[in-house]
Structure 1
Amino acid sequence: MLNYQTEKFSSSLKLVYYDSAKRSDENYSIIGATQNYSNSVRRDMWNELTPSISMSYKMNKNSEAGFEYIYAHQKSGMDIINRTRNISPAGLEENLLTNTFHREKEPTHTISAYYDLKLDSLGKKLSILGNFYKNNSDTEVNFATQKLSDNTLQNVKTLSLVAPQIFSAQADLELPFSFGNIETGIKFNQFKNNSDLKYFSLTDNGYISDENRANLFRYKEENYAAYFSYAKNFGEHWETKAGLRYENTSAESYTPSTGSGNSYRYGQWFPSAYISYKKDKNIFSLAYSRRINRPGMGSLNPFRWYSNPYSYSSGNPLLTPSYINNLELGYTFNNKLTTSLYYMRLKNAFGQVSSQNGLSQISTYLNYYNNNSFGLTISYTDTFFKFWESTVAVNASRQRSEIFGVDAQSQKGTSLSYSINNTVTLNKTKTFAFFLNYEQSLPSRNVNYYYHNFSDLSSGLKVSLMEKQLQINATVTNIFAQRFRGDIYFTDSVHHINNYWDGRSFRLSVNYTFGGQKKRSRKRRSNLRKRKGFKLHLN
């Protein structure tokens, strides 16, 4: 990182590169009238070179403007060997062996710009922010599937191009008055995506395009939002805040190959309220909020990602958002002990559902459940002997789900997880530290899932040298090499998951900062990548 700063101007240049690989072992079985057993051994590879530049300029004592540009050149790949065993209701057995070679190039561009204006000396301020994000994911997948019953071989190549584009702009006002603080603003988001999949089968005459399996998809979504909040303190003990946000969304999708399309528009109100009481070292609080959870592009896109000639995963353009109502009662003592009792209502939730039909396994996304959750969280943070900081956290909850539109068996039950994080400073200047963290999730049930026990132990060292300009971190994760295991219950079948994603790893990072450690240009990017989830992997 290279920094430069004067009284009015500041800039930062940063370059990040990483290169990594891991091995995964995924097992997915469906036990019902038809039995299907799938095992995939996969090697994932990816590297990325990301230069970025940010600048800010203070025009006068009341106004400041700046921008940031990030370019990420990403390459990734997967080599997969899949073995599938299928047993029909009549007891006939078929075995498939598939070798897959997957390569992707994904250049991305992110541009952010802001302008801040102080309106008076009392803290009133106008902030304007704009963001633009674009990438072009170019992917080639080659797979060869051997059907062992007759020893036939099918060679397939798919070429896909996914080109999302996101633009957002917002303006925010902070208005402190003697009678309370007002915050208000507006925001606009536009999301576009064009997807193109070509499917080719190898014949004696070379690769022939299969138009029945090709796919084009166009999607556009626009979101308009406005919000208002009011906060006021009453004396030394009481603090209150209430807000209201309105969002109006319009979306349209179109599949040229079938001539089918879908469009919808909806508007929703999202209230929030907070009140707290502080007395000595004690803080009591009560909060309510309503939120929206929109499906990502990978959940909406009917694009078919083939794992072999018989099976694929796809999104669902008819998917609609889910809504969350949350009520929370909290207590904090001495900024060390924090407890929270909460209730959460999740309505119209969506998830991925797989079905089996002979050799074909098809996965898509559906709105199919509501969920009620009651929970308690407790955390305690303290420092012992001046050099050992420890945080212990526990989360316990009970869930009850209502399932609709899918023949699934609801798995109401409890869940319990805890974590213990420790950092030990090894010298008086606090430039050398050792950390050891452990977390565990005990077996739990939720919706139509049963999750087995999962734990993780990680450890490492943190070193700061040269007045903190040189930072060295060494970390070992998932020391016990834990697997993720779960069961999914449907009326006519049970699906079993047993996966190892090679979480055990050693990571060494070195960061050196050139220039002074004074105030840097402000980073004000929106989270543009949160809707980027395009790829789905089918076991």
Structure 2
Amino acid sequence: MQKTSLIAATFFLAFSTVSAQNIINGKVTDIKGQSVPFALIKVLSANNKANVISEKISDENGIFNVEVPQNGSYNLLTSASGYAESSKNYEFNNTTNNITISIEKEKVAGIKEVVLVAKKKTFERKIDRFVFNTENSIASKGVDGLDVLAATPMVKADDEGNIEIVGKNSVSIMINDRPVNLSGKDLVSYLKTLRSENIARIEVITTPPAKYEAQGNSGIINIVLKQNTNMGFSGNISTSYQRRSRNGYSNNGSLNYQSKKINTSLRISQFDNEKKSDENLSIYANNILAAETSRIDKSKGYNINYSIDYKINDKTSLGAIYNYSDTDGKNDSKNFSRYYHGNTLDSTVVSNAYNATDIQNNQLNVYFERKLDSLGKKLYLGGNLFDSKNDNPFSLESSSSNVNNINYQLNSKYHYKIYSGQADFYLPFKNFIGEVGGKYTRFNTDTGLDFFVNNGGIPQYDNIRSNAFEYNENNWASYITLSKTFNEKWEGKAGLRYEYTSLTGVARNGERVENEYGKWFPSLYLTYKPNKKNILTLSYSKRITRPDARSLNPTTIYLDPYAYVTGNPYLKPSFSNNFELGYVFNNKLSVTGYYQFSKDNFGQIVELQGANRTVKILNNYDENSIGINATYSNTFLKRWDFYASANYAYVESKGLIDQVEGLSSNSLYYSVNNTIHLNSGKTFSFLLNFWNFLPHTKGNFRFENVYNLSTGLRMSLLEKKLQVNLTVQDLLKGMKFRGKAYYSDYYTYSNNYYDARTFNVSVTYQFGNSKVRGNNKQIKLEEVDRAN
């Protein structure tokens, strides 16, 4: 503990004493004490007000810091959109350099209040993230949160819950810096309840700072919602129809209320969808297997989210968030498998499977926030609980040309519990801004499989193939970050996070695993702004990817009578190091070069053993990738909004086990998005978008070309209270999962399609005070992703 404290103290002092320049820390507020974001502060000479010494723009919380050459008297000129200009003299010395500037709303004769809207830059590059201001983009009106993500540079998103940052393995979603602990369809349903009119910007964090969980070789997407100072009720109702090869429906509603003390929201969503999935797998070894599976996937359910925030006084608030979801899934699948010796057909097997799932999730978060002073110091305390139960009855039967018929019944149960508590401090000081905090998390899983063999219609319990697994993991984490503005051109930020993990796992069949480890996770950022049009950034962060609960579970899970997956309780976590060098020109063009090295990556290994195909999960490869990402955005002829992005990478992997063959490849991903406004009010718009991921490799898998052409119309009616969207996805049926996995003496080929061609019609009506956006705080519990 002494060693940890000494390192942290040394780190803290070294960073804070880099510069002895005079920094003025301040905050801009209105006369009611509310923060004024993005205000312009100019420091002028008190004797010569034409002499501008320095200038700065306040952040979204109204906080700013500017440099002055020495102690003395200065004039501060403050202006913001919709506010009257303020000019006031201040005397500064080493002990009095913290100020609050109060500005008033602009008044015009005959008009109570004039609110001017400043057009923000479409792209901004901050020290540790890329910012996409949606208010000035094609994703500004009449769409939901998922559509906004799909329109965000460097981000891929679809209705299947596949959301990622190009060049990253996975991604975490946050709302106002609070993680959304949902995945897959649950995440899609939630994002569709957000409206683009309420989204201020999307922050893409490709190298997350030490403040955030180190879990996941991924980036973070932070959706920042607009602040609300209006009182009253608001809400919306929406319905949508989807047509794939089957019909699908969804309905959503929300009701928000805000007063001076209470901010509360109730959101309810319901869905009922069907789609067809086709999966084809061939294994080419000494014996050859060709398996074709056709499946109808059905899912329906509902979600209820309630949140309340109570403002005790101007400095203190507390609140609670509760989320409940209930999802029923069913799928009927038919598998046709052919087994060959050489080129000679040996046998055929026809299998039928019925799979049902009932997933119930409960999430509860309580929190306390306290502002410690007028300059922005604050304390956050939070406690979280996540409880998930999944009952999964599964029946299998098959008939074969030359082996005995099979009839199995399985009943799987998964129960996840996650508890956590945390404390975070945000601490702006004279020469730097500090953040420090800690978190404890307990991750528990209890899973079981009851296996029955039907003999003559009588189920008989199979003790050998039945199993259970209990897993407990404890994680302690602490972090410190320090950021400093050295002058108008240079800004730096550094962080250090420490996480200590202990785990135990016990299976009914006697398998047991125990492990404990502690790791440091540093992060570093540097920004150089030679002028207003050019920005250069340098960043580094280290990450960890821990296996999810199902990957650790040694219980055998059957996919069909001859295919099964077995987890591995001895999986090691994977670690990655991420470096980036970025450049932004005129806030329209962004170019980022990156290098990433990941070690002990784990994934699936497919083998053919007699008539059975097995899937094991092993730490099987290391990987290096180096690449460059470019994004460009502009508006032509006032009605054509255009942006394009491209990502080139060279990827090289090294197999860690004998049967895994390392691969290398050059890959290219590019996207082009066009929105053409058909009228001057931009209430009728035509969309035409295309993205393409050319052949590339990941580990020992070589993916074939995948692409998506989509188009649609968006209409805003009744003074933009009624939004109607008509869209078509995957017009050319290019979103197929195809490719080969290479092993030392065999390979597999996959060709899957999950009914991606979709026609969608959605209608949303907003009622009440549209400026009331409700309580959008979110549960901060990243570990939930590992329970899915």
Place the TM-score, normalised by the shorter chain, in its bin.
over 0.9
Unaligned runs of 5+ in 1: 534-539
For residues 89 and 310 of structure 1, the distance between their equivalents in structure 2, rounded to whole angstroms, comes to 20
Q: Which of the residues 446, 454, 457 maps onto 2:709?
A: 457
Change (3 A) 1:478 1:85: same
Shift of 1:27: 0.6
Change (3 A) 1:29 1:400: same
Question: Are positions 1:250 and 2:505 aligned together?
Answer: no
Shift of 1:90: 10
- Residue identity matched to 1:112: N
Change (3 A) 1:6 1:385: same
Structure 1 contact 3–12 (Cα < 8 Å) conserved: yes
Q: Which has the larger radius of gyration?
A: 2
Question: Are positions 1:531 and 2:782 aligned together?
Answer: no
Change (3 A) 1:111 1:369: same
Change (3 A) 1:211 1:450: same
Q: Which of the residues 498, 501, 506 maps onto 2:751?
A: 498
Shift of 1:92: 6.5
Q: Which of the residues 364, 380, 394 maps onto 1:111?
A: 364
For residues 463 and 396 of structure 2, the distance between their equivalents in structure 1, rounded to whole angstroms, comes to 18
> Counterpart in 2 of 1:536?
none
Q: Which of the residues 505, 510, 514 maps onto 1:259?
A: 510
Q: Which of the residues 298, 310, 326 maps onto 2:550?
A: 298
Query: Which residues in structure 2 correspond to 1:201-240 (within 5 Å)?
Result: 201-204=453-456, 206-240=458-492
Change (3 A) 1:391 1:402: same
For residues 469 and 16 of structure 1, the distance between their equivalents in structure 2, rounded to whole angstroms, comes to 20
For residues 282 and 90 of structure 1, the distance between their equivalents in structure 2, rounded to whole angstroms, comes to 63
> Counterpart in 2 of 1:433?
685
CA RMSD of aligned residues (A): 1.7
Question: Are positions 1:409 and 2:661 aligned together?
Answer: yes
1:299-327 deviation line (CA, Å, top 9, x unaligned): 11123221233320122111111111011
For residues 135 and 411 of structure 1, the distance between their equivalents in structure 2, rounded to whole angstroms, comes to 38
Structure 2 contact 351–561 (Cα < 8 Å) conserved: no
> Counterpart in 2 of 1:85?
338
> Counterpart in 1 of 2:772?
518
Structure 1 contact 440–455 (Cα < 8 Å) conserved: yes
SS of the residue aligned with 2:663? coil
Change (3 A) 1:25 1:169: same
Structure 2 contact 654–661 (Cα < 8 Å) conserved: no
Structure 1 contact 52–68 (Cα < 8 Å) conserved: yes
For residues 521 and 354 of structure 1, the distance between their equivalents in structure 2, rounded to whole angstroms, comes to 47
1:46-91 deviation line (CA, Å, top 9, x unaligned): 0121121111110000011111111111010111000111124695
Shift of 1:191: 1.0
1:371-398 deviation line (CA, Å, top 9, x unaligned): 1111011110111122222111110111
Query: Which residues in structure 2 correspond to 1:39-58 (within 5 Å)?
Result: 39-58=292-311
For residues 106 and 496 of structure 1, the distance between their equivalents in structure 2, rounded to whole angstroms, comes to 32
Percent identity reads 37
Q: When the two structures are superposed, what TM-score results if normalisation uses the length of structure 2?
A: 0.66
- Residue identity matched to 2:516: R
For residues 371 and 177 of structure 1, the distance between their equivalents in structure 2, rounded to whole angstroms, comes to 41
For residues 515 and 405 of structure 1, the distance between their equivalents in structure 2, rounded to whole angstroms, comes to 61
- Residue identity matched to 1:490: Y
Q: Which of the residues 323, 330, 333 maps onto 1:70?
A: 323
> Counterpart in 1 of 2:449?
197
For residues 355 and 286 of structure 1, the distance between their equivalents in structure 2, rounded to whole angstroms, comes to 43
Q: Mean Cα displacement is larger for which, 467-476 or 349-358?
A: 467-476
Shift of 1:131: 2.0
Question: Are positions 1:484 and 2:737 aligned together?
Answer: yes
Change (3 A) 1:337 1:8: same
Q: Which of the residues 13, 19, 31 maps onto 2:284?
A: 31
Shift of 1:252: 1.0
1:125-147 deviation line (CA, Å, top 9, x unaligned): 00122221111111111111111
Query: Which residues in structure 2 correspond to 1:308-387 (within 5 Å)?
Result: 308-387=560-639
Shift of 1:515: 3.8
Structure 2 contact 338–347 (Cα < 8 Å) conserved: yes
SS of the residue aligned with 2:405? strand
Change (3 A) 1:220 1:89: farther
Change (3 A) 1:247 1:350: same
Question: Are positions 1:188 and 2:450 aligned together?
Answer: no
For residues 698 and 787 of structure 2, the distance between their equivalents in structure 1, rounded to whole angstroms, comes to 26
> Counterpart in 2 of 1:273?
524
Structure 2 contact 453–460 (Cα < 8 Å) conserved: yes
1:252-294 deviation line (CA, Å, top 9, x unaligned): 11102x1221010111000000001112210001111111111
Change (3 A) 1:99 1:340: same
Unaligned runs of 5+ in 2: 1-253
Shift of 1:451: 1.2
> Counterpart in 2 of 1:537?
none
For residues 768 and 368 of structure 2, the distance between their equivalents in structure 1, rounded to whole angstroms, comes to 25
SS of the residue aligned with 1:492? coil
Shift of 1:472: 3.6
- Residue identity matched to 2:401: L
Shift of 1:501: 1.0
Shift of 1:422: 1.8
Q: Mean Cα displacement is larger for which, 318-327 or 436-445?
A: 436-445
For residues 142 and 521 of structure 1, the distance between their equivalents in structure 2, rounded to whole angstroms, comes to 44
Shift of 1:469: 4.5
Shift of 1:427: 3.5
Question: Are positions 1:61 and 2:321 aligned together?
Answer: no
Q: When the two structures are superposed, what TM-score results if normalisation uses the length of structure 1?
A: 0.95
Which structure: greater strand fraction? 1
